[in-house]
A and B are shown apart, each in its own frame.
Chain A
Amino acid sequence: MAEARCLQAHPVTVMVEEKVIVRLDGVDVSFGGSQVLEGVTIDIHENDYIAVLGPNGGGKSTLLKVILGLIPPDAGTVEVFGTSPEEGRRRIGYLPQYARFDREFPITVNEVVLMGRYRGPFSGYTTMDRQKVTKALDTVEMSEYGDRQIGALSGGQLQRVLLARALAREPELLLLDEPMASIDPDMQRSFYELMAELRDRMAVVMVTHDIGVMSEEVVEVACLNRKLFHHGDAEGGAEGLEAAYACPIQLIDHGHPHRVLRRH
């Protein structure tokens, strides 16, 4: 599936398929003496679709925050779009963990998504920014809700709005932190359909502790429990996933789009 779609969608860009957009090398992170990430080395390529699996507290969110330059590593190097995370992160769309949000915050859907176009002080928002907001809300099928206060949305709807905020940046890399938490199975399915569409336009890295919700579309799986146990092609199979989840971890295969593309 993924194979065929990749080839069709990128007939001309096959050559740049292997371009590395994020490179972590030997990254260590510790909080208050306890090691959260240890020697994490991973490359993320253009058009990758990676699921980072692992138990709670395994360092998954920390990994995303290291890529975003929110947490400086104690050791190791982080390169984002060939530069520092602080510079490169402007090209990343980020969907943080849903639970963090104050649903009572006096803000409308439009205003939230507009923040995806935020560039810094004194720059303001332009008409173009507002058009991109409309477009992003369209993509997540939330255009009718622009004037709603966020507290009036269901969990799945708010999750879509937050995704629209990330998309409004027109990112080249999408980082999703537990996107499936607190949304019902129907919504999860349509969320994955959306991902499948988006994945043609950008690289996607998704963090989840719930293997059950992993999409068939996911091309690669990385298992993180302090150390990155493996990163490679995914292969469906509950057995392998369970093994992975128990950590120490194995990799699971599920189609080989990158290998196919590599031959070109």
Chain B
Amino acid sequence: MLEILQYEFMRNALMASVLVSIACGVVGTYVVVKRIVFISGGIAHAAFGGIGLGYLLGVSPILTAIPFSLVSAVAIGVLGHRERISEDTSIGILWAMGMALGIIFIGLAPGYAPDLLSYLFGNILTVPVTDLYMMLALDIVILGTVAVFYQDFLAISFDEEFATVSGAPSRALYMLLLCLVALSVVVLIRVVGVILVVALLTMPAAISRQFTSRLDRLMALSVLVGMVLTVAGLWLSFVLDLASGATIVMVLGTAFLLTSSLHRPSTA
């Protein structure tokens, strides 16, 4: 296993696994306990519009994906709170519009769109060093925000109504949480692509949830589980010569199915 570390792309891929696991362990915990999996999926797909914009402007698609996914996160939050539009509907609309915009932008961009597939399905083996730094910076922003707002996010996740009555700016906190989801999506895009982002945001937390009943421990365990399983997936994809993003998702999914069938969730 160690010989694969002699390749620089492999070292980068390992770094990427670690950085991805931090984002999806921490934010994924909220995604799972607050049941915003499909909102996160919507944000991820909408982020594809930002990737297309990057191609069109000739800049790093990851760079343009940041504002794009942040805007779509806020838009889903705002639309979803309107009385006449259900959150479900607003997710569907932004999900499709983001993807459509991405396709239009890419069509307008001159020439051929290189490694477009890696943004859709991820390719952890091609993550450039500059993107690693960006992922590190986003991880720091995510960790810092969660450290500051831990109790607040816990309050609105458990009982938003009671939190509001107690003085929590619930709408603003919810938006902030969605923005953290948006940033995690950006961190994850390089590794699993917009289509598979939801897998990494949910599965480490869903697996870990069966083994702990404390939110802080759930986060820590999710990060750990994410690291072990993404690296395992990465290794497996290298050995079997399979698509890395998809292999990582399959490893996570299999681990979830195994743990949930073997382990009766204890409430104690």
Contacts and interface: CB of A to CB of B under 8 A. Distances in A.
Interface of A: 32, 65, 68-70, 89-90, 92, 94, 96, 100-108, 111-112, 115-116, 118-122, 124-125, 148-149, 151-152, 165, 169
15 contacts: A94-B165, A106-B214, A107-B214, A108-B214, A115-B154, A115-B155, A115-B163, A115-B166, A119-B166, A120-B152, A125-B151, A149-B267, A149-B268, A152-B267, A169-B166
B165 A121 contact: no
A132 to B, nearest CB: 13
Per DSSP, are chain A's interface residues mostly helix, strand or loop, or mixed? loop
Given A106-B213, A169-B166, 19 more contacts: A65-B161, A68-B165, A96-B159, A102-B33, A104-B267, A105-B157, A106-B33, A106-B215, A107-B215, A116-B166, A120-B152, A120-B166, A120-B168, A121-B152, A121-B169, A149-B213, A151-B213, A151-B267, A152-B268
Nearest to A103: B267
A149 B33 CA distance: 14
Contact of B166 (A101, A104, A118): A118
Contact of A108 (B165, B209, B213): B213
Contacts of B163: 115, 118
B173 interface: yes
Interface of B: 33, 83, 148-149, 151-152, 154-155, 157-159, 161-169, 173, 209, 212-215, 217-218, 265, 267-268
A75 B10 CA distance: 65
Nearest to A111: B154
A112 B213 CA distance: 13
A89 B165 CA distance: 6
Nearest to B217: A106
Given A119-B166, A120-B169, A106 B212 contact: yes
Contact of B167 (A100, A111, A118): A118
A94 B209 CA distance: 29
B161 A96 contact: yes
B218 to A, nearest CB: 5
B166 A121 contact: no
Contacts of A69: 165
A170 to B, nearest CB: 13
A69 B166 CA distance: 11
A156 to B, nearest CB: 16
Nearest to B166: A118
Contacts of B164: 70
Sort A-B residue pairs by CB-CB distance and give the 7 closest, nearest first. Answer: A151-B267, A149-B213, A118-B166, A120-B167, A106-B213, A152-B267, A152-B268
A221 B107 CA distance: 68
A119 B167 contact: yes
B202 to A, nearest CB: 15
Tell me which of A89, A100, A121, A125 has the highest count of chain B C-beta atoms within 10 A of its own C-beta: A121
A69 B161 CA distance: 10
A118 B265 contact: no
A32 B84 CA distance: 9
A106 B209 contact: yes
A68 B161 CA distance: 10
Contacts of A102: 33, 158
A80 to B, nearest CB: 11
Contacts of A120: 152, 166-169
Contacts of B162: 94, 96, 115, 165
B47 to A, nearest CB: 27
